[in-house]
Amino acid sequence: MTLAFHGRVAIVTGAGGGLGRQHALALAARGAKVVVNDLSPEAVARVADEIRAAGGEALGVACSVTDMAAVQAMVQRVQDTWGRVDILVNNAGILRDKSFAKMELDDFRLVMDVHVMGAVHCTKAVWPLMTAQKHGRIVMTTSSSGLFGNFGQANYGAAKMALVGLMQTLSIEGAKHDIRVNCLAPTAATQMTEGLLPPAMLSLLQPEAVVPALLALVHDDAPNRTILCAGAGTFEAAQITLTRGLHLGVGSHVPEQLVAQLGAVTASAGATVPQSGAEQGHNEVSQAMAAQARA
């Protein structure tokens, strides 16, 4: 099967360079009409021209994803030009790395605003179109920093994990309209990661190596509610699991019992991947009811 996107319209934010540029070029090469979005008009024009020179169709729109009015205007322009939006790649992001003790709150807010509210603005703007079309593919760009933590990236990690939470609920709400929402956790050498990794690793982590994961998450047969990780040609899936746990009941003795048996509570054997938040409560209540029945 060849992944093709003829007739599809894609918006890629942060597409003026790095991963976003690679995503935009790959989608265009496979037939999509691509909206190249970034802050820099020069970078936007350069990538849009690159797509056109290769025989593709592109529309360059320079604006900040933190500006909801500008985002809405961008989406309206796309609708006026091509009549639809099928794919949204929320890729725009910034870094403001520093240990939490030394981090200014303004830098925390800015990172949250660009990553989280930027994705919210873009997703909110395209959601009515995708609902009406009964088709949509949305990718949130998360990170291992959010999924697993990284020193000096409290702001970035918090923002990236927030996008996973956003994806979890939107994937449920969009399913009836065939709007599939997924996360991509890339590892790539870009301007954002320059100076953070040794040269030998950077040579392996080319942005192009992440693109197959992006394409897998936005084609017509894409999954829904998947966290796909990609780097250096290796692909993994991250999952938020729930252990079977242990019913200890209610009473003054429970804190000591919980500490004594925490290993059993956290044991991964029998862990599941809940399909909604309600499954946690169901697991807890079902074990409590089973204990009552045995009493």
Q: Is residue 249 part of a domain?
A: no
Q: Is 4 contained in some domain?
A: no
pLDDT tens column, 81-110? 999 999 999 999 999 999 999 999 999 999
Q: How far is CA 69 from CA 64, 72, 76, 91, 121, in A?
A: 10, 5, 10, 19, 9
Assess whether 280 and 152 both reside in one domain: no
Please give the mean pLDDT across all residues of the chain. 96
Confidence bin at 68 (pLDDT 50/70/90): very high
Going by pLDDT thresholds of 50, 70 and 90, the confidence category of residue 186 is very high
pLDDT at residue 280, rounded to an integer: 96
Per-residue confidence (pLDDT) for residue 4, from 0 to 100? 98
Residue 13's pLDDT is what?
Answer: 98
By residue range, what is the domain housing residue 272? 254-294
207 & 68 share domain:
yes
Verify whether residue 177 is a known catalytic residue: no
The pLDDT of residue 80 is above 80: yes
> Mean pLDDT over residues 185-211, rounded?
80
How is residue 122 written in tokens?
């873009």
Summarised one tens digit per residue, pLDDT across range 118-150 is 999 999 999 999 999 999 999 999 999 999 999
* Predicted local confidence at residue 192, as pLDDT: 56
pLDDT beyond 90 at 194: no
Lowest pLDDT segment from 99-108, 181-190, 231-240, 250-259: 181-190
CATH value at residue 99? 3.40.50.720
Average pLDDT value for residue range 212-221: 98
Percentage, residues of the chain above pLDDT 70: 97
pTM, entire model: 0.95
Pair (158, 260) in one structural domain: no
210 and 285 housed in the same domain:
no
Q: What is the average per-residue pLDDT within 54-64?
A: 98
Active-site residue, from 156, 163, 214, 228: 156
